[in-house]
Structure 1
Amino acid sequence: MSNWGEVFKQTVKTLADAGFAEAEAEARVITAHAHGEDFSSLCLRFFDVCGKEAEIERLVAARLSGKPLAYVLREKYFYGRPFYVDERVLIPRYDTESVAQRALLLARENGYRTALDLCCGSGAIGVTLGAEGRFETVCFADISGGALDVARRNAGNLIPRQEVSFRQGDFLENIDGRYDLVVCNPPYISAEDYAGLEAQVREYEPQAALLAGNGGYAFYERAAREAPRVLEPGGALVLEIGDTQAEQVCSLLAGGGFISVESGRDLSGRPRWVFGIAPAK
């Protein structure tokens, strides 16, 4: 029987031989997942008998098929927390953490107490708001019932004491009342750009959560037009954007009556979010 160190080295080799650029990083995640602890803890057990070879081989085989690692493991970390993910939802990206961070800062500055995670997918943003902020309630909304099932599972696991609600419908359909904060990572990929995405994104992640009409701006146009209905006066709308969309989305929000419209970048320096404040009435 092999020890954990030997299994880890073999996993790195298998992935590297198959052409995976991040073979060692992915091998760390796979072996740590099978062990049930983080990789630092696993390193202390490298000379212990593994006993999980069959499970690791199964995970590696799934990865070699082209399936994204997060779907293979049914897990993706976001803002330091492990989220359950499957093919019903987009895989949370590190870039989106800057959107959640901006929303949390606005909430703290303005004393926001109610939040809506629109187009919630896995619920990564809404759960992060509930865990890191001081919200009385967080609502999760998505057109996909499957996505809401995933969001419900993550909210139950990660913010069990937070008051939450779930709404299924097309964008703001079925959203009652008003919120201090609306955060949305909508579909924003144009048909042209979608065709150029890497294969594992196009083949595995839900198209409806990525592809948007009007050159990628359809949901931003709807947000500028419809979001004021569900925002409290002085409330904020925070939108994730593609890195070429800041100027146009800012213009849409300003044209929709939002004030104090700003854009900002993620930690990689790429434009990543736009926000606007609903005017007082």
Structure 2
Amino acid sequence: MGSFPTPSPSPFPSPSPSPSPEVSLLDSVVGRLRRAGCVFAEDEAALIFSVARDRRDVDGMVRERVRGLPLEQVVGFAEFCGLRVGVSAGVFVPRRRTEFLVRQALGVLPERGVVLDLCCGSGALGLAVAHGGPVCELHAADIDPVAVDCARGNLAGVGGQVYVSDLYDGLPARLRGRVDVLVANAPYVPSAEIGLLPAEAREYEPQAALDGGSDGVEVQRRVAAGARAWLAPGGRLLIETGERQAERTVRAMADGGLAARVEECEELGATVVIGTAAPQEPS
């Protein structure tokens, strides 16, 4: 039933000949999760117990997980780049493969750079970049008000500004021509393949965060087409994409006036296309 954050050590003792009530409850929870199809039931149970306030809380979380909710939405956070990122119900859950996009962004981030996270969801990308690099200004945007509320909570501590915006439409004009690094985990699943995704993604994450249109690159084309106006000279656009979509993503960036290259990480199964705006012409 999907990936999950690395759990904290379970606060419950190991089983003994006369198990304590806590151990009996833990065993019961593991059994319920396993019967629901959770492959890593023991780890999921330990994580639920580590954040639950009482037995009623445990029971409520287990019911939600058995119903199919992503574990990250059940416990309220995801582990991403070593950070705990708050994840509200109905918000896209950051995937581990997207950590490769963060690493690539940090590799091109200038000193005191201006960062924009489009299609930000929970704000995980912007948060990780802010913690890992010398960010001067952090901005993020999403079309979904629920995601924006979640991102505002996650980015408040790093001074991030978050906007309800259909890509660039709702951004402040003062950002034009100033963005050093623009990151976008725009959807790239072809519409016809949405039905093949795990049920917890199909049913509990917003379709707008998953559906990339007929060929998986429709939203990415819009991101690439508008990026040059917002990037600083020499600024970069980084888009996570699928291996099958990478060639189309490169073409979209070229059509948008950016010089593009592809970076891949076999370990995480991740593909990122990086587009660079032309540097400032010497006067």
**Do these two structures clear the TM 0.5 threshold for a shared fold by scoring above it?**
yes
Q: Look up the SS of the partner of 1:213 in the other structure.
A: coil
Q: Look up the SS of the partner of 2:215 in the other structure.
A: helix
Q: How many residues align?
A: 258
RMSD over aligned Cα, in angstroms?
1.9
CA contact (8 A) 1:246 1:263 kept: no
Q: Look up the SS of the partner of 1:274 in the other structure.
A: strand
CA contact (8 A) 1:236 1:277 kept: yes
CA contact (8 A) 1:250 1:262 kept: yes
1:241-260 maps to which residues of 2 (within 5 A)? 241-259=241-259
Q: How far apart, in 2, do the equivalents of 1:188 and 1:6 lie? A: 44
Partner of 2:272: 273
- C-alpha displacement at 1:71, in angstroms? 1.4
TM-score, length basis structure 2: 0.85
Q: How far apart, in 1, do the equivalents of 2:131 and 2:61 lie? A: 30
Find out whether 1:34 has 2:81 as its counterpart: no
Partner of 2:167: 171
Name the aligned partner's letter for residue 91 of structure 1: V
Match of 1:106 among 105, 108, 118: 108
CA contact (8 A) 1:142 1:148 kept: yes
Q: How far apart, in 2, do the equivalents of 1:200 and 1:155 lie? A: 26
- C-alpha displacement at 1:166, in angstroms? 2.1
- C-alpha displacement at 1:210, in angstroms? 1.1
- C-alpha displacement at 1:112, in angstroms? 5.6
TM-score, length basis structure 1: 0.85
1:42-53 maps to which residues of 2 (within 5 A)? 52-53=54-55
- C-alpha displacement at 1:26, in angstroms? 1.2
Partner of 1:117: 117
CA contact (8 A) 1:98 1:267 kept: no
Q: How far apart, in 2, do the equivalents of 1:73 and 1:113 lie? A: 33
Q: How far apart, in 2, do the equivalents of 1:126 and 1:55 lie? A: 31
Q: How far apart, in 2, do the equivalents of 1:247 and 1:100 lie? A: 21
Q: Look up the SS of the partner of 2:69 in the other structure.
A: coil
Q: How far apart, in 2, do the equivalents of 1:271 and 1:76 lie? A: 18
Moved more, 93-102 or 55-64: 55-64
Q: How far apart, in 1, do the equivalents of 2:240 and 2:199 lie? A: 23
Match of 2:99 among 97, 100, 103: 97
1:218-237 deviations in Å (ceiling 9; x for gaps): 11211221100100010110
Name the aligned partner's letter for residue 252 of structure 2: L
- C-alpha displacement at 1:184, in angstroms? 0.4
- C-alpha displacement at 1:192, in angstroms? 1.0
Q: Look up the SS of the partner of 1:186 in the other structure.
A: coil
CA contact (8 A) 1:253 1:261 kept: no
Q: How far apart, in 2, do the equivalents of 1:124 and 1:247 lie? A: 26
Q: How far apart, in 1, do the equivalents of 2:65 and 2:192 lie? A: 27
Q: How far apart, in 1, do the equivalents of 2:276 and 2:148 lie? A: 27
Name the aligned partner's letter for residue 165 of structure 1: Q
Moved more, 220-229 or 163-172: 163-172
Q: How far apart, in 2, do the equivalents of 1:274 and 1:120 lie? A: 17
Match of 2:84 among 67, 82, 85: 82
CA contact (8 A) 1:123 1:154 kept: yes
Partner of 1:146: 146
